[in-house]
Amino acid sequence: MTGIRQEPIFRRRVRGAHKGLKRMLVEGMAETITLNFTAAGLTGATSSNIVVGPATADRLVFALQPGGVSRTGSPLATQPVVETEDPFGNFSTVGLPANLDVTMALTAGSGTLLGTTTLDVGTAGGDGTVAYTDLQITSGGTNKVLTASAAGLTSAVSSAFNLGGLEPATGGSAISADTTGGTYTTLTGPTYYEAASGDVGVGTIILNAPAGFRFDTGGTTPTVLITRLTGGGSSNNNINDLTSGTTVAVTGISSTQMTFTITAASANAVTCSLTWQNVRVRPTAGTPLATGNLVKTGTSVMAVATDSAMGGTMKVSPGRRTPDNDCNANPADVIVSSKGPGATLAKLNCPLSARGLEVEDVP
């Protein structure tokens, strides 16, 4: 037919197949494929294998999430595995240098991440994969998150996970010696987290004040908050068979000990936490400056917390009335003699400013 260009049907079909192949490449699946060509009245044809490779690696991902039934004092039960991927979710080492450090950090939740936190994911190292083996966290708690990062790659953020064990009490690291015989300092916690049912056994949990400190026995009675962390079913599965969120008064308190009684352990895959509240302490003397931790005793067996420290370090700091502490003196307590012949001034251990008056050391 003059003036009309006839396009062979095979070419039209190939163009259609090319569009389909292009669509597959855009979707980014790295795999080996074949193409089938069919047309009415013609014998079909199948291409040879076509290998679609990954694109350049641009991100880190968690191939295995951290966590599992883990507790403080031991490596995580499930150690994380991190891989490099391209923008389409394919494992890829394309573009990786021979050596590239991946650093793991604790980015949410309390505590410190211990262990070998840096591994080489480069082609001469892990070749796109790093598997951690000894990571552990020093403080129990919920919603722990790890982040893996490497230069030039998008960081990977893990799913949140829980860690059984103790989150020590805080708020007692700088208790003034001036509170001796006076104001009590309120601590936050401690809190104990179960990693598995029955981590807190039936019996007594006794908090012991460290030497040089005493508990407040005359104020608001300290309590323990019971919270369900995981699991389902009735409240009978919780510690002491109580509804999650119940606050229970301690069963006994003296100036040196605080007792809480566990009458029923958690059960049936339920885990709980115990949070001590309204725990107040003060020094028993201005000197010597005391330091120590709350210590757990009693008959209740608590996983990774049997007869151990239950509080972060409590420490008495010098007050203005502490002997040999001239630099902490209250300016209102400084007496300066009047000027004139025979005026005297006691020697201080450091320069002192009293209400705008500069007083220097004197011989």
For position 338, what pLDDT does the model report? 40
pTM of the full structure: 0.77
| Averaged pLDDT for residues 207-211 | 94
Q: Is the pLDDT of residue 47 over 80?
A: no
Mean pLDDT across 96-110: 97
Instruction: Kindly write down the DSSP assignment for every residue of 200-211, as one continuous string.
Output: B-SEEEEEEPPT
Domains of the chain: 9-52 (no CATH), 59-163 (2.60.40.3960), 165-317 (2.60.40), 326-359 (no CATH)
**pLDDT value at residue 308:** 65
pLDDT band at 143 (very low <50, low <70, confident <90, very high): very high
Each residue's pLDDT tens digit, 263-310: 999 999 999 999 999 999 999 998 999 999 999 999 999 998 766 677
| pLDDT at position 325 | 46
DSSP state letter for 91: B
Strands 314-317, 175-176: pairing is: parallel
Please answer whether residues 226 and 238 qualify as being in contact, where contact means their C-beta atoms are separated by less than 8 angstroms.
yes
Query: How far is residue 242's CA from residue 236's CA, in Å, rounded to a whole number?
Result: 7
